Chains A and B, each alone.
Chain A
Amino acid sequence: MDPSRSEPSGQSTAGPAAWRREFPALDAPVHGRRLAYLDSASTALKPRAVIDAVVRVFTHQAGNVHRGVHALSEAATEAYDAARDDIARFLGGRPDEVVLTSGTTGALNLVAHSWGRAHVGPGDAVIATALEHHSNLVPWQALCAERGATLRIAPIDDRGRIDLEALAGLLDDRVRLVAVSQLSNVVGTIAPVAEIAALAHAAGAIVVVDGAQAVAHLAVDVAALGCDFYAFSGHKLFAPPGTGVLWGRRALLEAMPAWQTGGEMVASVDYARARLREPPHRFEAGTPNIAGVIGLGAAIRYLATLDRAAIARHEARLHARLREALAGEDRVRVLGAPEAAVVAFTVAGAHPHDVATIVDREGVAIRSGHHCAEPLHHRLGADASARASLALYNDDADIDALIAALARVREVLR
């Protein structure tokens, strides 16, 4: 497609209605009804720019990357490398600090297995916050168990905000790493990453940020955040699944050993040994997800054509409406005090799975369960929750549909 179609140059191409038109998944009715897609925190829908880019790869850029000298390989390599440049600009980092992974989980496991094994030893400690998704908790549990280290959990208050004083109290000279999500995937609170980074650095620890939820909603600038690693997934940023990014400080990446080995990540090999390439390639063994990464570059370029401030205002207004509408519903309890993008809630007398099944029949897509954050649910006194989450393509009709569907839940479950 021609990216200029999406430029905010006039009323017809700017604003929520125009943004919606770029997402063809919204055109198809679900169960005979208009789709209210309120599950973007699970995975975001894809704009035409991304769909077209992926089709273009398999149509015109179908070669492997960094291997061939023929035309299709060169076309693929050019588009693939350009995507890394786009990602670096998006994060405020350098292309040689951008490691392409399979997702946030792959990125965080890379830090745990490579940096973690080299720097965390017996008697050391790692801190994760009580908010963390399993992908930013279980790798640290496994690392600590393997290395004889201790995992410390930084507590939160009932609103879902990190207790900075308590976190500072956990920081001593045994702490090597602090893991924190920038935007909670359950309670929707925004972590004070820059303050946490300052505290951690003063204690000699590094900071790893899970940006999976944040990238689609908050401005991300790794320099301003002051973090040492930043991980996110392409599929929550309107790009294909199976793509992800680990941004890391160049000096840290250079000192890190390889985790997975094989082709692509070696400079030269004989039968006895291999000389490894410099980062980021050292951490990118094997043929990558070529179409996915090029699709991620297309997603970032698509977002660059939009007015991000206008998107932020639109999402903030909808989020306030969603939060207030749910809080005003009979028998509904909102978890924590959400600040952006997501609202998790429970309905007294109705299990979240039953809620999600019934509202689905009204065309409303929400998530139910513990959203890969089981300890956080227990901390908040819930076994599970329903979760509505927003993206730029949502509108007031989506929220109205959810609220109307909740009345239907009460009717069906009587």
Chain B
Amino acid sequence: MDTKNIMIVGVGGQGSLLASKLLGKLLLMKGYDTKVSEVHGMSQRGGSVVTYVRFGDKVYSPIIDKGEADFIVSFELLEAARWTEYLKPGSGKIVTNTQQVNPMPVITGAAEYPEGLVEKMLAKGIDVAAVDALSLAEQAGSAKAVNIVLMGKLSNYFDFTEEEWLTAVEESVPQKFLELNKKAFLLGRNA
């Protein structure tokens, strides 16, 4: 099997590391060679962050380059737009949260948050699935479960069973938040 590429993008502090951990566990469980590349340090302080998840028979590079991503999972709308050129032309898909988090240049008035980003991506022929993950996460019991809601949404585009996904959720989140996260996953999966 050719290597598949999933990028997880968002704002530092949104919980993308947990999402990549979950995917890593699932893919290893399914017997794939897997690499997950994270970003630590300075950029975690509210900056734009990206995590790369790659799997296949044999994975070499730990990173995903422009034009290579089969999926971009975005925790924030502007971030989905920022990384669009990493999408594989023709076949790549974006799964994005519709939540907007203003970056500092927008907060200070030096720049504007672009409007209608989902529509603009669709108009460009990009395959976008947009979901209000924040509301679904709150419905599940915590705004922090946005990451698991988005994993639920992403799960629709893979052949793995619901049970396999839920096992990966179970192995990735603390026991006391398990039910909340399972609920968040299913809300995302069925959104």
Do chains A and B interact in one complex?
A: no
A interface vs B, CB < 8 Å?
A: none
B interface vs A, CB < 8 Å?
A: none
